[in-house]
Amino acid sequence: MEILSPVPVNGKCSEKDYERLFIRDPEVKAREGKMAYVRPEYHERIMRITRVIGHDRLTLSAYIDHVLTHHFNQCEDAIKSLYARNYNSVF
């Protein structure tokens, strides 16, 4: 899996960064994944993004996968720390 460099620390995302991170072919096909529910207003927004910016070649599943990959890459340390702090072993 290719790890893409993050958006600059200031939190702003250029058009070039956005296309490189999110508007690209998926690494995993949707049929290999799981179903998830998205609130209707986000679904409509994502569908418009994939149709217009992705030129109807990008699926909703691929876009969401890219967004989550970016989120996990950006927040990995915080997630690991919070998980370790909140995890209680059953034994």
- Dihedral sign (CA 28, 72, 80, 8): positive
Per-residue pLDDT averaged across 78-90, rounded?
89
Position 85 scores a pLDDT of: 87
Contacts of 20 (CB under 8 A, 6+ apart): 4
Per-residue pLDDT averaged across 5-19, rounded?
72
Whole-model pTM: value is 0.72
- Is residue 60 within 8 A of residue 46, CB to CB? The reply is yes
The residues spanned by each domain of the chain are 16-24+34-86
